[in-house]
Amino acid sequence: MIHQLTAIHPDARIGADVSVGPFTTIDANVEIGEGTQIGSNVTILSGARIGRNCHIHAGAVIAGIPQDLKFRGEDSLAIIGDNTTLRECVTVNRGTASKGRTVIGSGTLIMAYSHVAHDCVVGDNVIISNATQLAGEVIVDDYAVIGGGTLVHQFCHLGPHIMVQGGALINKDIPPFVKAAREPISFTGINAIGLRRRGFSVEQIDEIHNVYRHLYASGLNFTEALAKIEAELPQSPLRDQIIDFVRHADRGIIRG
């Protein structure tokens, strides 16, 4: 299952039932979990840690050195979880001294020509569509869906269960459970369809709607709106998750 026209360093650790296509290069200090399929012309460099049953398509480059002028050759990793797919020509840089690792979770799909820069953390079951570019130290939480051609500014935080339109320019944090669209990028409602598909109840979706009505439709600034939410809406994990995200949004959240 290893094509004869490959270059695999003898120190690379390759699991059982891994297949590797022609003209692929696998460096030293690489670990690849069992059952993973690696296409042709893939480059897997030192520091790559790839999980089980992943699918790496032609032309992908994993664990390339960071495109960060502060990088000084320090040891770092690019970690990819189980059952994740990287389509054609995806690039994933390894970390820098800032965090030491770039992480992509399990069950995630990153479509062709997308880039994940140094020290990013991409969660589980995320979908990143074609030609999306994540700058350094971006966080993308579980079940986020990002439309094609999206550009994400460094240090942004994209919350769980969000839906972002294609071609978006993101320079603010996007709070959980919402849809984001327009130019400049703005809150356009709750990702209700996605939430229903993932098992959220009608009552939970209504609760999320109510929190965001206070946040975006009350005429208050965000600080005042959070205080009103805490005073008037019953405490719950969903309510508190949104409050905590907004309060800790270092770049500020998108506007309504």
Q: How many whole angstroms separate alpha carbon 95 and alpha carbon 93? A: 7
Q: How many whole angstroms separate alpha carbon 42 and alpha carbon 7? A: 11
Q: CA dihedral defined by 88, 91, 94, 96, rounded to 10 degrees? A: -170
SS3 call for 114: coil
Closest by CA position to 141, among listed 103, 170, 112:
103
Closest by CA position to 39, among listed 54, 20, 13:
20
Q: How many whole angstroms separate alpha carbon 181 and alpha carbon 198? A: 21
Asked if residues 50 and 80 have their Cβ atoms less than 8 Å apart, the reply is yes
Asked if residues 239 and 214 have their Cβ atoms less than 8 Å apart, the reply is no
Q: How many whole angstroms separate alpha carbon 91 and alpha carbon 65? A: 11
Q: Which residues are catalytic?
A: 118-119, 136
Q: How many whole angstroms separate alpha carbon 143 and alpha carbon 160? A: 6
